[in-house]
């Protein structure tokens, strides 16, 4: 019997037509037409995304994020009505603040109480209805919509994807009522996608670049501060070239991507600190918070330049960093234009040479200090963050993707490859790293994927859901836990405000202590390899065994008990 085609079939095909290879799902009663459409598709050879059941929404969105950050190709997630969507919002905030395009969708409880094939037939269908389901997340998506008719499947996706993929990129949301997905469709879906030229990323005005080049040529003490630069790996290539040629020190501050290698003398640590204090030119590129004004400031006379695709961070309610020149441009286009503009100013390079000598010496001294700090732990009986990162040098190679939430430091473990580092969004919604590492591995199976997570961050990720995905989808990743049995950031915040208060009497540990269970045993339940390391002396060998297990196709976890 031939069955009438339903809208869900058109919808899945439209997803594939937009290059969406994976649909990360956590299903519910709203999914029936989607399930039927996937099942029917098994009898055709039409291209549809590969569905993947992820047993927690945090992991599902983090996986989509991880896949997209590595490939640049947005993926789709489908969740269950309001309740599943609610679980996803933390990860959506992360993606939104770092402009990662994700198509988040969820079913909408049937709106009809009877009469249509998708009408309500379960108790929950009444209580799960909201006046405005998208209202929960409207503030963190660029665009949201509810599909109204079955024949809209293709056009609605065209709109969703052009919104997600146009600068500044970001997540979008679509809700999918069950009756609509189940509608019988009469004619092939209409789409004019082939005639929808997308605008390019913003490029800088030539006059602004000339001005900046002039300032660079004249500067005695410039500093470049980056945050999300490197999202396009080419950013890092051009920045490094420019920084090395013009002796521009670079501080990737709370960086989310690889901006410059710590092996370059122009890498000057990850805190603005002294360079900012003495700067006469501060070039802020894709950095929402280039320094903490309550703690440090550039000198009053310093010139400040802010460059970014959305340099005013228009979705941030309050942000007041000064700027003498604000340039709306992608980092790549601004850096390339700057390179050209500086070529005409070669005469000014003498100044840069003198600076290069000083900066190279500073970098050499910093490197010596970083190494000494790391090796100090080797002689002791407690692992430290520096030692953990130092030991990672031994397993991290040019083909490794490192995910940090937020315990990885290039100071102790330099990387060399653009596109090799991904760190938690500036929004700081914890629980991202483990799922993102799975998405990264899915996107780049040939690469070694290592995530370095705090013990708190690991638990926020719903670790059993993540270990489950690693096992079921054959995604052997290495998870390294920097386990200080503490919410260290919470303790620091308490001591920062009440260093002399009553809360300091127990070293700010009230509400921050996190006595940790044997995480290394959780991975065993998922056919993985687990290690627990108490003594610094044992760390390297444990990491090597874990990396070998991963090469053998097993997921692995190293629980590093730290000071």
Ligand X SMILES: Cc1ncc(C[n+]2csc(CCOP(=O)(O)OP(=O)(O)O)c2C)c(N)n1
Residues 471, 465: Cα–Cα separation, whole Å: 10
Contacts of 408 (CB under 8 A, 6+ apart): 389, 392, 402, 421, 423, 452
Dihedral Cα 232, 237, 241, 246, nearest 10 deg: 30
Give the nearer residue to ligand X in terms of CB position, either 468 or 519.
Answer: 519
Site map for ligand X, 307-346, x if CB under 6 A? Answer: ----------------------------------------
Residue 42, burial from CB neighbour count under 10 angstroms (0-12, 13-18, 19+)? exposed
- Binding test (CB under 6 A) with ligand X, winner from 202, 488, 508, 528: 488
Pick one of 57, 158, 208, 455: the residue that binds ligand X (CB under 6 A).
Answer: 455
**414-427 burial string, b = 16+ CB within 10 Å, else e?**
bbebbbbbbbbbbb
> At closest approach, how far in Å is the CB of 429 from ligand X?
5
Closest approach, Cβ 532 to ligand X, in A, equals 16
Token representation of residue 295: 């703690």
Residue whose CB is less far from ligand X, 66 or 476: 66
Q: By C-beta, is 460 or 468 nearer to ligand X?
A: 460
Q: How far is the CB of 88 from ligand X (least distance, A)?
A: 12
How many Å apart are CA 408 and CA 281, to the nearest integer?
29
Binding mask 524-543 for ligand X (x = CB under 6 A): --------------------
Is the four-CA dihedral 125, 127, 131, 134 of positive or negative sign?
A: negative
Cβ-based nearer residue to ligand X, 181 or 459: 459
Integer Cα distance of 31 and 240 in angstroms: 48
Q: How far is the CB of 518 from ligand X (least distance, A)?
A: 16
The least distance separating ligand X from the CB of residue 77, rounded to whole angstroms, comes to 18
Among 489, 495, 532, 534, binds ligand X (CB under 6 A): 489
Beta strand extents in 189-302 (DSSP E only): 222-226, 250-252, 281-285
Asked whether the beta carbons of 147 and 176 are under 8 A apart, the reply is: yes
> Least distance from C-beta 337 to ligand X, angstroms?
37
Does 422 contact ligand X by CB under 6 A? no
Token pair 């914890």 is found at 430
Closer Cβ to ligand X, 61 or 174, answer by number: 61
Sole binder of ligand X in the list 182, 222, 227, 429 (CB under 6 A): 429
Map residues 255-274 to x or -, x wherever contact with ligand X holds by CB under 6 A.
--------------------
Given 64, 157, 236, 457, the residue binding ligand X (CB under 6 A)? 457
By CB under 6 A, tell whether 484 contacts ligand X: yes
The H or E element that residue 305 is part of is strand 303-308
Q: Supply the minimum distance, in Å, between the C-beta of residue 468 and ligand X.
A: 20
**Of the candidate residues 33, 84, 168, 456, the single one contacting ligand X (CB under 6 A):** 456
Q: Which is nearer to ligand X, 25 or 388 (CB)?
A: 388
Report the residue from 454, 528, 530, 536 that binds ligand X according to the rule CB under 6 A.
454
- The answer to the question of residue 460 lying near ligand X (CB under 6 A) is yes
Determine, following the binding rule CB under 6 A, whether residue 430 of this chain makes contact with ligand X: yes
- Comparing every residue's Cβ against ligand X, the nearest one is 454
348 near ligand X, rule: CB under 6 A? no
Is residue 406 reached through a cis peptide bond, with omega within 30 degrees of 0 on the bond before it?
A: yes
For 546, the token pair is 């874990």
Output the smallest distance, CB 277 to ligand X, in A: 26
Q: Which span sits near ligand X by CB under 6 A: 105-113, 123-131, 300-308, 425-433?
A: 425-433
- Between residues 247 and 481, which has the closer beta carbon with respect to ligand X? 481
Residue 370 as a binder of ligand X (CB under 6 A): the answer is no
Q: Which of 297, 284, 160, 162 is nearest to 228 (CA)?
A: 284
Contact 546, 531 (CB under 8 A): yes
Among 16, 221, 444, 490, binds ligand X (CB under 6 A): 490
Strand order in 250-252's β-sheet?
250-252, 222-226, 281-285, 303-308, 325-328
Q: Which is nearer to ligand X, 335 or 522 (CB)?
A: 522
Q: Shortest Cβ distance from residue 457 to ligand X (Å)?
A: 4
Task: Give the shortest CB-486-to-ligand X separation in angstroms.
Answer: 5
Minimal CA–CA distance to 16: which of 172, 171, 161? 161
Q: Is 513 in the site for ligand X (CB under 6 A)?
A: no
DSSP string covering 374-434: HHHHHTSSSB-HHHHHHHHTTT--TTEEEEEEB---TTTS---STT-EEE--TT--SS-HH
Residue 344 Cα distances to 9, 65, 339, 349, angstroms? 57, 41, 9, 11
CB-nearer residue toward ligand X: 110 or 454: 454
Which candidate, 452, 409, 418, 421, places its Cα nearest to that of 434? 452
DSSP 8-state class, residue 154? H
Contact pick of 348, 375, 428, 444 for ligand X (by CB under 6 A): 428
Tell me the C-alpha distance between 386 and 371, whole Å.
Answer: 8
Site for ligand X in 37-96 (CB under 6 A): 90
Q: What is the DSSP track for 340-369?
A: HHHHTTGGGHHHHHHHHHHHHHHHHHHHHH
* Binding positions for ligand X, rule: CB under 6 A: 90, 428-431, 454-457, 460, 484, 486-490
């Amino acid at each position: 019997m031939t069955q009438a085609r339903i809208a869900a079939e058109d919808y899945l095909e439209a997803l594939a037509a937009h290059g969406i290879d994976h649909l990360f799902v956590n299903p519910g009663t709203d999914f029936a037409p989607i399930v039927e459409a996937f099942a029917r598709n098994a009898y055709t050879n039409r291209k549809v995304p590969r569905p993947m059941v992820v047993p927690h929404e945090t992991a599902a969105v983090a996986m989509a994020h991880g896949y997209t950050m590595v490939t640049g190709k947005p993926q789709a997630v489908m969740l269950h009505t309001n309740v599943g969507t609610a679980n996803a919002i933390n990860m959506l905030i992360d993606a939104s603040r770092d402009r990662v395009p994700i198509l988040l969708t969820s079913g909408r409880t049937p709106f009809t109480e009877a009469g249509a094939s998708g009408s309500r037939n379960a108790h929950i269908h009444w209580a799960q209805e909201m006046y405005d389901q998208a209202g929960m997340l409207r503030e963190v998506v660029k665009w949201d919509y509810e599909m109204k008719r079955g024949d809209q499947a293709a056009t609605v996706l065209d709109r969703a994807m052009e919104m997600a993929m146009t600068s500044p990129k970001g997540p979008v949301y679509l809700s999918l009522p069950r009756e609509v997905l189940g509608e019988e469709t009469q004619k092939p879906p209409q789409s004019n996608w082939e005639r929808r030229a997308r605008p390019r990323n913003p490029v800088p005005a030539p006059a602004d670049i000339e001005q900046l080049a002039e300032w660079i040529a004249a500067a005695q003490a410039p500093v470049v501060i980056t945050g999300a630069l490197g999202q396009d790996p080419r950013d890092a290539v051009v920045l490094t070239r420019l920084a090395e040629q013009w002796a521009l020190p670079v501080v990737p501050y709370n960086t989310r991507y690889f901006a410059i290698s710590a092996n370059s003398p122009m890498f000057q640590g990850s805190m603005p600190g002294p360079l900012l204090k003495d700067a006469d030119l501060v070039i802020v590129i894709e950095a929402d918070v280039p320094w903490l004004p309550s703690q440090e400031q550039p000198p009053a006379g310093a010139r400040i330049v802010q460059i970014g695709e959305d340099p005013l961070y228009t979705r941030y309610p309050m942000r007041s960093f000064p700027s003498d020149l604000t340039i709306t441009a992608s980092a790549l286009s601004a850096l390339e234009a700057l390179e050209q503009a500086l070529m005409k100013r070669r005469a000014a390079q003498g100044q840069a040479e003198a600076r290069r000598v000083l900066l190279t010496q500073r970098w050499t001294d910093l490197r010596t200090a970083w190494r000494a700090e790391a090796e100090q732990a080797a002689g002791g009986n407690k692992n430290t963050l520096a030692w953990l990162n130092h030991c990672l040098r031994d397993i991290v190679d040019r083909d490794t993707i490192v995910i940090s939430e937020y315990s990885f430091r290039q100071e102790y473990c330099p990387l060399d490859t653009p596109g090799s580092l991904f760190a938690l969004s500036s929004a700081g919604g914890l629980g991202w790293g483990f799922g993102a590492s799975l998405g990264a591995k899915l996107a780049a199976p040939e690469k070694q994927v290592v995530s370095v997570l705090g013990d708190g961050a690991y638990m926020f990720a719903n670790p059993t859901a993540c270990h489950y995905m690693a096992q079921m989808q054959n995604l052997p990743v290495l998870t390294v836990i920097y386990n200080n049995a503490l919410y260290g950031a919470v303790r620091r915040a308490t001591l920062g405000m009440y260093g002399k208060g009553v809360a300091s009497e127990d070293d700010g540990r009230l509400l921050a202590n996190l006595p940790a269970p044997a995480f290394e045993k959780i991975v065993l339940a998922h056919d993985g390899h687990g290690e627990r390391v108490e003594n610094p002396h044992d760390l390297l060998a444990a990491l090597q065994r874990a990396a070998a297990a991963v090469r053998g196709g097993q997921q692995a976890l190293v629980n590093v008990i730290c000071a």
